[in-house]
Structure 1
Amino acid sequence: MSEEGYHKRLAACTWSFQPESPASLLDKLNTCGIRRVQLAMNPLVDDAAWAEIGTMLADAGVTIVSGMYAPRGEDYSTLETIRATGGIVQDQLWDENRELFVREAEWAQQLGIKVITFHAGFIPEQETDPLRATVADRLAQLAVIAAEAGIELLLETGQETAEDLEAFLAELGDAGVGVNFDPANMILYGKGDPLEAVERLMPFVGQVHIKDALPTPTPGTWGSEERVGDGAVDWSAFLARLDEGGYTGDLVIEREAGDNRVDDIAHAAGVITDLLRS
């Protein structure tokens, strides 16, 4: 595969760059050489300055490979706060979050985005827990909205074990919900070995995030996100598992920590490109 071929699989999450404006995003993309992105959708709804981002990216030769939906009210301060507020679990915000998704699906149609990912929130392990049925019902509603807009809806991994997520997806049946696999999230949340998890979830995987992490030494707290190659993910083995499972889709770099995001994203692209080449 040519160098161009490797880069046709790589992308980066726009929120990782912490852009203050569309122009800021383009500057940072140019600096690190990334020409494909997963686009944070909330700014398109919240800030008129982002209304022309599709045209701006296209004019700059940047392709949008997918979108990301972030429900209102999420608090990632601690594991306890995100368990209580993450995704679509909050009753008082459900109507607002459903409407937000409707608007973002409309934006996705305009921009030709075919995939949207998000965290649904902590899914209760017990099948008899009423919240489990509530999350399933809300996911089914979002999946219908997505399908009507020609969008594939993918759940981020990490807040459940692979076994629990697999069982939940089986319960959803043909709702049209898949997986955005993030190996670092499995480590950050302490939910299992990424290699074993991706093998189990491979039939559902529609996109992959490239992110690294180290496990926490203190149970009940976050692990630490690290630069790709500095964490616990065995990238050579992980990419091999993807290849063995027949995954040939996008590899989207996500960086949510650190003060040198542009450099870290460029570094990650180099690490993954070298491994793909070998």
Structure 2
Amino acid sequence: MSERFKIGVITDSFKLPFEQALDKAVEVGAQGIQLYVVNGEMIYSSFDEEKVARVNALLKDRGLVVSAVCGDFGGHGFETIEENEWKVPASKAVADLAVKLGSAVVTTHIGVVPEDKSCDTYKIMLSACKEMGDYAASVGVTFAIETGPEKAVTLRSFIEDVGSKGIGVNLDPANLIMVTDDDPVQAVYTLKDFIVHTHAKDGILIKKTEPKRIYNFFAEGGIEDLRMSDYFLELPLGEGKVAFDEYLNALTEIGFNGFLTIERECGDNPYADIKKAVDFLKSKI
């Protein structure tokens, strides 16, 4: 297979115990996995030296690597001082775990970056990301902010304001389409200096609304009467609005040759969906 990109899968997407999910990752033809470590059997706080060694052995036996560790603690990202008091230290611990698992990337949602740079939320998010980014850089890791809640130009400006070598981007092309109606191909060029990991996902925008409204719904557990399917729909790769040929060519043009990690967040048959996605990507690269 061409080494233009590497293909990854998110183990949680298989909805199986970790070791079984690793076997499925091999079966579908993945080269790497993204590992959620914020809850469940793989929560970061459960990793002692023995567990780290066991997981690394399981990966080595299967010829897999960790493309990224997901340290997304949910809620309002890093928008509030109260949440940041525990999320920032926890995120540093996740960065330490990433190093032990041989990964240089921690992905996370940080909340919705305000366009008003003078507001308190912007300053709070900036401070948290600066602290996390500087720590990450000191241990050889990049905190990769997942795209979606804001347009690419807003995110780029925010990252430049943070000014830390340990802050980068996890580019999710479907999120840009489904939430902000942004162009993923142009986003590659806008964010080219910061992309360290990507998600392979597809979808469509049905009806526009404020991104803050969408992410508040996720953060607060559906307090507002909101049906996501009224606004956007995640779809199998190639069936949504992501122009994958142009998108992948843009990634190549900027020099990115890392992971396209398949994220499938819905569907009744995750294994079949993921296998189909791997085959789709292989046909493109």
Q: TM-score, normalising length from structure 1?
A: 0.86
Match of 1:77 in 2: none
In the comparison of the two structures, how many residue pairs are matched? 260
**Structure 1 unpaired stretches of 5+:** 75-84
Deviations 1:205-225 (A, max 9, x none): 111211001112364554111
Match of 1:151 in 2: 141
Matched, 1:210 2:200: yes
The AA in structure 2 aligned to 1:65 is S
Q: Distance in 2 between matches of 1:188 and 1:17?
A: 23
Match of 1:9 in 2: 6
Q: Distance in 1 between matches of 2:255 and 2:84?
A: 36
RMSD: 2.1
**Structure 2 unpaired stretches of 5+:** 211-227
Match of 1:80 in 2: none
Q: Distance in 1 between matches of 2:2 and 2:183?
A: 32
Q: How far apart are 1:116 and its partner, in Å?
A: 1.1
Q: Distance in 2 between matches of 1:157 and 1:225?
A: 15
Match of 2:233 in 1: 224
Match of 2:62 in 1: 60
Q: CA distance change for structure 1 residues 55 and 184 in 2, over 3 Å: closer, same or farther?
A: same
The AA in structure 2 aligned to 1:275 is K
Q: How far apart are 1:47 and its partner, in Å?
A: 4.6
Contact 1:182 1:210 in 2 (8 A): yes
Q: Distance in 1 between matches of 2:64 and 2:184?
A: 30
More off after superposition, 263-272 vs 90-99: 90-99
Q: Distance in 1 between matches of 2:131 and 2:63?
A: 35
Contact 1:32 1:265 in 2 (8 A): yes
Match of 1:91 in 2: 81
Q: How far apart are 1:141 and its partner, in Å?
A: 0.8
Q: CA distance change for structure 1 residues 18 and 46 in 2, over 3 Å: closer, same or farther?
A: farther
Q: How far apart are 1:227 and its partner, in Å?
A: 0.5
How does 1:246-261 map onto structure 2 within 5 Å? 246-261=255-270
How does 1:58-137 map onto structure 2 within 5 Å? 58-71=60-73, 74=74, 85-137=75-127
Q: TM-score, normalising length from structure 2?
A: 0.84
Q: CA distance change for structure 1 residues 93 and 174 in 2, over 3 Å: closer, same or farther?
A: closer
4+ residue stretches of structure 1 with deviation over 4 A? 46-51
Match of 2:249 in 1: 240
Q: Distance in 1 between matches of 2:271 and 2:197?
A: 22
Q: CA distance change for structure 1 residues 236 and 4 in 2, over 3 Å: closer, same or farther?
A: closer
Contact 2:78 2:124 in 1 (8 A): no
